[in-house]
Amino acid sequence: MKLAIVVQRYGQAISGGAELHARYIAEHLARHAEVDVLTTYASDYVTWRNEPGPADERINGIPVRRFHVEHERDLLAFSRHSARVFEHRHSLADELRWLDAEGPTSPALVNHIAAHADSYDFCLFFSYRYYQAYHGARAAARRAVLVPTAERDPAIGLTMFQPLFRGVRALMYNSPEEQAMIQTVSGNQDVPGVVVGVGSDVPANPRPERFRQKYGVEGRFAIYVGRIDGNKGCNELFEFFEGYARDVYGHLSLLLIGQTLLPLPQHPRIRHLGFLDDADKFDAMAAADLLVIPSYFESLSMVALEAWALGRPVVANAKCDVLKGQCLRSNAGLFYESYAEFLSVIQSLERNRWLGATLGTNGRRFFREHYEWPVIERKYLDLLERLAREPARSTMEPLPPWIERRRRNLPPAQDVVARLPRGASLEPAAAGLRS
C-alpha cells in the first residue's frame, strides 16, 4: 500500500498539534505501507513564509517533498476576509478568498497531488481548514482520507467545507465530539468515519528525579505543556493560578513548558522552562502532580493522553467539549468552568493523593486501551483496507458556477457554529469504527 500524507508543514522541530499528529501517523504507518509526505517549505504557521531547505529529504526515514508557498499571509487582508465570512452574510467566492488568504497557498502542491494521485492508494489530508487540504482533497477526491482535526471555531461553519466532508472517501476523527460536530454541520453520516485519535511515544520508565535535578525543581507542582498563548486559555490559567496561590493554603507551583507568545506573570510560584525535548518533557510530566489544560478549543489533546500514559491526572477547561469528554470517558481527569471550580479541583487533587493516583491509573488504562500505537495503527489499516475493498460511494460535489459562487446567500459562519449542539460525548472512548 502506498500512502501520501499531505500536511501544511512538516518537520521534527514543528510541534503544532496537527503537524505532530501527521508526523506520528506517517512514521507509524510507514511500518505497514510506503509513505510519502507532501508539504510546503513553510514552518511558521502565521506567515507561511518559505524557509530555505531541500525540496526532497528524509525525516526519520520518511521521504518528504516540499512545495513553495505562493504568497505569505497578509494579516490585514486575512482578518478582513475572516470578519466578512465569520460575521456577515457572504458568498462562496468570499469563502474561497478567505481560504486563499489563510494559506498556505501552494498551487504547486495541489497540482502535484492532482497529477500524481493515481500513484498512491490513498492520500491522507490533515487539517480541513487549510488550502492544501481543501484543494488537494478536491483534486484527489477518490483517494482522499481526511483527518479534519476540527475544533469548535467559526471556520467549521463555513459552507465551502460541507461538500469536502461529504466528498472524501473517509474521515479519521479525533474524538466523538468532533465527529458529532462535523456530521451535524455537513450531514456526512454516510461517509465512512472512525474515531481514532493519535498515540504517543511515551517512555516506559520516565525519570522524574532526573528532571528535578536538571532544572532545580523542588516541591509539588502542576504542569502546563504547549504553546503559551491567549488562544490556549493561558491568560485565564494565570489568573486562576495566581488566585489559588493567593486565596488558599496550597503548595503547588505552576511549571510552564513550551514557547511563549505572552508576557508571563512575575510570580514566585510560576516558572517557565521554555521548549524542552521529549525526554525532558515526559520526565517533567512524570514529576508533576497534575497536568492543566486551559484550552477552549481542541480536537484532541495529545498532551492529556501523554499525561494519562504516564499515570498523571488532568485538570481541563470544561468549556471545551472535547476535553471534558475526554475526562469523562477516561474517568481520569477533572474539569472546571469557573475560578471556584478550578480552586476546588486543584485543592482536591493536592490534598487527596489517592484521588490523583486513582485518576492516573484510570488514565493509564484508558491510554493503553485506546491510544497505544498498535491500536491506532490497526484502526488506520482496517479502514484503509476496507476502503480498498469497497468502491467509492461518494463523489466530490463540483463548485457552483461563477455567478452562483458570487451570490451572497451564505450565513455568517459564527451563526452556524452557534447552532451546533454542545456538550461532551459520554460514549465509550474512541469507540471504534463507525460508518
Unique residue bearing C-alpha cell 489533546? 301
User: Which of 305, 296, 291, 300 has the alpha carbon at shortest distance from 224?
Assistant: 291
From 49, 58, 251, 351, residue interacting with other proteins (rule: CB under 8 A): 351
From 47, 260, 331, 414, residue interacting with other proteins (rule: CB under 8 A): 331
- Residue 334 interacting with other proteins (CB under 8 A): yes
Q: Grid coordinates in use for 10?
A: 512538516
From 257, 327, 376, 413, residue interacting with other proteins (rule: CB under 8 A): 327
Q: Please give the distance of CA 56 from its chain centroid, rounded to a whole number.
A: 26
User: Which of 291, 394, 294, 292 has the alpha carbon at shortest distance from 337?
Assistant: 294
- Residue 352 interacting with other proteins (CB under 8 A): yes
CB of 431 to other proteins, least distance (A): 18
Question: For the chain, how are helix, strand and coil distributed in percent, rounded to 5?
Answer: 45, 15, 40
- Residue 305 interacting with other proteins (CB under 8 A): no
From 335, 366, 371, 380, residue interacting with other proteins (rule: CB under 8 A): 335
From 114, 276, 355, 399, residue interacting with other proteins (rule: CB under 8 A): 355
CB of 348 to other proteins, least distance (A): 6
Q: CA dist 275 to 173, 213, 333, Å?
A: 28, 17, 25
Q: Grid coordinates in use for 409?
A: 446567500
- Residue 93 interacting with other proteins (CB under 8 A): no
Judged by CB under 8 A, the stretch of 9-17, 135-143, 331-339, 409-417 that binds other proteins is 331-339
- Residue 285 interacting with other proteins (CB under 8 A): no
Tell me how far apart the alpha carbons of residues 197 and 172 are, in angstroms, rounded to a whole number: 8
Judged by CB under 8 A, the stretch of 36-44, 96-104, 281-289, 351-359 that binds other proteins is 351-359
From 185, 256, 345, 387, residue interacting with other proteins (rule: CB under 8 A): 345
CB of 354 to other proteins, least distance (A): 7
The one-letter code for the residue type at 82 is: S
Which is nearer to other proteins, 20 or 245 (by Cβ)?
245
Tell me how far apart the alpha carbons of residues 228 and 247 are, in angstroms, rounded to a whole number: 24
CB of 21 to other proteins, least distance (A): 25
Q: Please give the distance of CA 213 from its chain centroid, rounded to a whole number.
A: 32
| DSSP H helices in 103-201 | 107-116, 131-139, 161-167, 176-186
Cross-sheet strand order for the sheet of 314-317: 270-274, 253-257, 221-225, 290-293, 314-317, 333-336
Backbone dihedral angles phi then psi of residue 339, each to the nearest 5 degrees: -65, -40
- Residue 361 interacting with other proteins (CB under 8 A): yes
- Residue 344 interacting with other proteins (CB under 8 A): yes
Site size for other proteins (CB under 8 A) = 25
Binding site for other proteins (CB under 8 A): 83, 327-328, 331-335, 340-341, 343-345, 347-348, 350-352, 354-355, 358-359, 361-362, 408
